[in-house]
Amino acid sequence: MTSARRRWTDGSLTAGSLLRPHHVARAVFHPAWIPPSLDPTVETLKRIRVVAGAVAAVGVYTFVEGGFAFDEMLENTAIASAVLFLLTPTTVGAMLFVWRRTGTVRQLKVPLVDSLKLLLLFVGCLLATVGIFRSSGAVGFVPQLLLSLVGLWMAVFVTAGAVRLSGNFFGTAAVHRCLPPLLATVTTWLMAVPDLVTGDLHGLSLTMGVVFILGAPLTVTGIALMETRRLRRRYGIRLTAHPASLPPTPAPQRVPPPAQPHVPPGTHPYGAPYAPGGGRPYPQGGANPYAQGGANPYAQGGANPYAPRPPHPGGRPRNG
C-alpha cells in the first residue's frame, strides 16, 4: 500500500459537467486514488454484484411488483444511508482487529481516511436529496419548482454515485481488495433480514417473499465468494492478511486488441508497378509482346486472318 496521497479527481470536470450529473458523480464518487480491477473477470463479478445489491437497496417491491413506490424508495434510501454510516466503519474496524497481528493501523491511515471522507460525502448527499424531496411540498410554487429541479439533479447524481460506490464500496479497495465484496455481503444481509424478521413481505406470499427478499443477498454472497476466491488463488490476496503483508499486485490486465494478419513485404505478385525494384510484370527489356521491335502478329506483310479473300472460281462469293 502506498502512503502517498493522490488527487481526488482525474481533472476531467469542467463547467459544462454541471449539465451532466452522472459525469460529476463518476468523478466525485470514483476518485483517482481507487485502484482499478486486477483483471476483466473480477470486473465482471463486481458488476453482477452491483446489480444484485441494487435490488436489495432500492426495494423488492419496485422489482417484483413492477411499480415504482417513490415514498418507499425514499424510506429505503434513508435507512440504507444510516446502515452504511454505521456498518461500514464497524466492519472495517473488525478487520483491523484481525489484521493487527501482521501489521499496524498507521500503515493504512491514508486510504482509511480517504474512504471515510467518501462515505461521509455520499451519506451527506443522500440525506440532502431525501430532504429536498420531503420539503418541496411545503413551499410555494416557484420555490417548489426550483427545489424540484435541484432534486432531480441530485437524484441522478446520487443514483449514479451509488452505482459507482457499489463497485468500489467507498474506496475500501484502496485499503484491501477483499473489503468491497465483504462489505457488500454484510450490507445486503443486514438490509434483507429485518424484512424477514418483521414479516414485511410487501404483499407477497411467504414462499415468494422469502425467495425474492433473500435472492439478492444470496446472489451478492455467491458473487463475493467467487471474487475473493479468485483474488486469493490468482493473486495471493487473502482477506485475513494485513494489506502490508500481501505480495505486490501486478499491473491490471487489459484485453489486447485483435491481432491483424501479418503480410510479409514483397508478396504481391506485381508489387509497386513503378517503384524501383517493385517487380513490374513487363520490365524494360523483358518479353513485352507489344514492345517496340517485338514480333507484332499483325505487322505489315503478315498473315492477317481478316484480309479480303480472292473470289471463288465459280464467281460465287465465299461464305466466310
C-beta neighbour count of 181 within 10 angstroms: 26
In whole angstroms, give the CA distance from residue 201 to residue 189.
15
What is the spatial distance between Cα 28 and Cα 86, in angstroms, rounded to a whole number? 22
Task: Report the candidate in 81, 77, 50 with the shortest Cα–Cα distance to residue 167.
Answer: 50
Q: How far apart are CA 77 and CA 96, in angstroms?
A: 28
pLDDT digits 0-9 by tens, 84-137: 888 889 999 999 999 998 889 999 999 999 999 999 998 899 888 888 888 877
Q: What is the mean pLDDT of the chain?
A: 75
Q: Answer yes or no: is pLDDT of 18 > 80.
A: yes
pLDDT of residue 144: 83
Residues 306-313, mean pLDDT to the nearest whole number:
60
**According to the model, what pLDDT value does residue 127 have?**
85
Does residue 67 surpass a pLDDT of 60?
no
Q: State pLDDT tens for residues 173-214.
A: 899 999 999 998 898 888 777 777 776 666 667 777 777 778
With 0.75 as the threshold, say if the pTM is over it: no
Q: What is the C-alpha separation between 49 and 224, in angstroms, rounded?
A: 7
Which whole-number Å values give the CA distances from 141 to 21, 144, 146, 153, 255, in the listed order?
25, 5, 9, 18, 53
